[in-house]
Structure 1
């Protein structure tokens, strides 16, 4: 996607949060869990310097990572970038692990940057909240009497 504002990942900018996370091909994981393939064949990758981006909706992965994981394209969508609205490819079945939190998500392909972005939907589903002052993610809830999940 052209026109993305590239963050300065090498400096200690106020409010910029970067994390480490693991992404896995969810179909591979299910196949391994059911003993159809050995665990060694599960495609997975640990990603460092993932930018926590409250302006992004989805998990966004570089094309190279999507290819390494062998993800299947699920469609295309109009994506708002700083250069305007562009078409982007959506891929299915990424198992995302941050700390001890796991979830399965779609991801948007990034074609012009080499780092991943963690958007608000995966953060909300996993109960994660950016702590901009301390440049980290907080795990919710903050105490044992609360939960980040609700059914109303």
Structure 2
């Protein structure tokens, strides 16, 4: 388990949601499934103190986490941050597990800060939304007669 520092947004703590999530190198998982590496060689981490950030688009990880997972760079992009527009690297094939829901996502490397952010794309695809009053993620749908997945 990797405990990341909690961002100190004193003026924003009222609606702050902090979660724990598991991330795995998806390429390692495939290699293990095919017998090229052992299951013990699959790089995976549980991160605590991940800030749910509806202002972030992707899962955002610090360089230390990306290095530990051995993620593959997919490209670079201009990113709007609190420090202005910066050029950041995008990495692919992160298997994200949160609240018993899983998906494979790209992630953005955060070079300016030591913490992780859970952005809106992973939350939307996994059917999660922040519950700001109770400081937690809420699983969608709210009742058993609906689904968070749609195909209209």
What is the TM-score with the length of structure 2 in the denominator?
0.92
Structure 1, unaligned runs of 5 or more = 1-5
Q: Alpha-carbon deviation of 1:25?
A: 0.1
Q: Quick one: distance in 1 between partners of 2:100 and 2:37?
A: 24
Q: Alpha-carbon deviation of 1:35?
A: 2.1
Give yes or no for contact 1:9–1:49 (8 Å, CA) kept in 2.
Answer: no
Q: Alpha-carbon deviation of 1:33?
A: 1.8
1:67-86 equivalences under 5 Å are 67-86=67-86
1:69-115, Cα deviation, whole Å (9 max, x unpaired) = 00010000010012221111000110000021000000000112221
Give yes or no for contact 2:92–2:106 (8 Å, CA) kept in 1.
Answer: yes
| Two-structure CA RMSD over aligned residues (Å) | 1.8
Task: Decide whether aligned partners of structure 1 residues 68 and 143 sit closer, same or farther in structure 2, where only a CA change above 3 A counts.
Answer: same
1:6-31, Cα deviation, whole Å (9 max, x unpaired) = 83279x92100000000100000111
**What's 2:66 paired with?**
66
Structure 2, unaligned runs of 5 or more = 1-5
Task: Decide whether aligned partners of structure 1 residues 9 and 95 sit closer, same or farther in structure 2, where only a CA change above 3 A counts.
Answer: farther
Q: Quick one: distance in 1 between partners of 2:77 and 2:45?
A: 25
What is the TM-score with the length of structure 1 in the denominator?
0.92
1:1-152 equivalences under 5 Å are 7-8=7-8, 13-152=13-152
Partner SS, residue 106 of structure 2: strand
Aligned residues: 147
